[in-house]
Amino acid sequence: MSSYGNYQQYGGNPYADAPAAEGGYGAQNPYGNAPQGAAPPLNHEMSNYSQASNYSQAAPNVLTLQDFLARVDLVKQSIRNLTSNVSQIGTLHQRSLSSPDGSASAQLENLVTQTQILNTQIKDNIKSLEADALKTPSEKGKNTKSTQVGNLKRNFDAELKGYQKEEQTYRQRYREQMARQYRIVNPEATEAEVQEAANADWGDEGVFQTALKSNRSGAATSVLGAVRARHSEIQQITRTLVEIDQLFREMATIVEQQEAPVIETEEQTQRTTDNLKSAEQQLDSGIAHARRARRLKWWTFWIVVIICCILALVLGLVFGVGKKN
């Protein structure tokens, strides 16, 4: 699958390092052990199929077309949930930019964690359906299954790109807010100094103390604390983007891993089919040859019988005439 291999810029829980006092996100990795209580929306929808992300553990036999399409519908619903989550994440980002109490950041942490888990489940489900489609014989709906998988991939790709764009947009807005806040503390700072501050590691206490040298008022300390929080959130958004890219690459890698054995199996099946056809042709040829041999034997038998009759007739006539004379 080619489209998923073209993304190399983005990809753990994006929100791992922010101190709670600064309104940042938590430290759980959505691709590792999900935090208890953060059950993703997909779990409920996939209850009819045990664990939705474990289609690959199903029986080796291919799904019937009816079962396959039922699972496609469940993945479509999960993708719609992803669309809703991305929209809510954008809303919470906006609240986080304008809310000093950090409540939006706490909600954002939970929603981002669930969304990353949902992304992983959708990826696993699509890949499992794709593996089933690759194993399906042409006469049992292979083309229909492949078409459905292709549609799911395109829809999931579009939603991931939307999520990616949302995070990139708010990363830039967080940086702009950091620059404005830094100028409040250092109104005489040049543009280069502001940009350097925006890219500085504000988790480093040395950077924070250096910024306070020119202004040690209580207001400056508060503003720089907000700057540090924004820097932490930028780092966390960057991690989200890295995770999204990781999803793209995993999709591409799984395709390559699944296609190789499937292609080999198809080639073996084709060779077996060819061998069977050759054997059938040889069998048909042998049967035809045997029939011709049997016919030849009967013809030979009747020719011998006829010759014997003719000889008997001739000999009878000859000896019969001789006796009369």
Q: Which residue has the higher pLDDT, 295 or 75?
A: 75
Residue 290 lies in a domain: no
Residue 92 lies in a domain: yes
pLDDT for the residue 70: 96
Residue 288 lies in a domain: no
Which residue in 197, 235, 233 sits closest to 215, CA to CA?
197
Q: Which residues contact 86 (CB under 8 A, 6 or more apart)?
A: 115, 159, 162, 163, 166
Residue 308 lies in a domain: no
Among the listed ranges 59-68, 70-79, 86-95, 213-222, which one has the minimum average pLDDT value?
A: 213-222
Provide the domain count of the chain.
1
pLDDT for the residue 238: 79
Q: Which residues contact 81 (CB under 8 A, 6 or more apart)?
A: 41, 42, 45, 118
pLDDT for the residue 239: 81
Quote the mean pLDDT of the chain.
72
Among the listed ranges 39-48, 204-213, 245-254, which one has the minimum average pLDDT value?
A: 39-48
Q: What is the CATH number of the domain that holds 229?
A: 1.20.58.70
Question: Mean pLDDT across the stretch 67-92?
Answer: 94
pLDDT digits (tens, 9 = 90+) for 44-59: 444 444 444 444 444 4
Is it the case that residue 106 has pLDDT exceeding 90?
Answer: no
Residue 270 lies in a domain: no
The one-letter amino acid code at 157 reads: D
Residue 275 lies in a domain: no
Show the domain range for 220.
3-260
Residue 317 lies in a domain: no
Instruction: Kindly write down the DSSP assignment for every residue of 40-87, as one continuous string.
Output: -HHHHHTGGGSSGGGGGGS-SSPPPHHHHHHHHHHHHHHHHHHHHHHH
Question: Is the CB of residue 52 less than 8 Å from the CB of residue 46?
Answer: yes
pTM for the predicted model, two decimal places: 0.55
Query: Most confidently modeled of 27-41, 49-63, 118-132, 260-274?
Result: 118-132
Q: Write the DSSP symbol of residue 141.
A: T
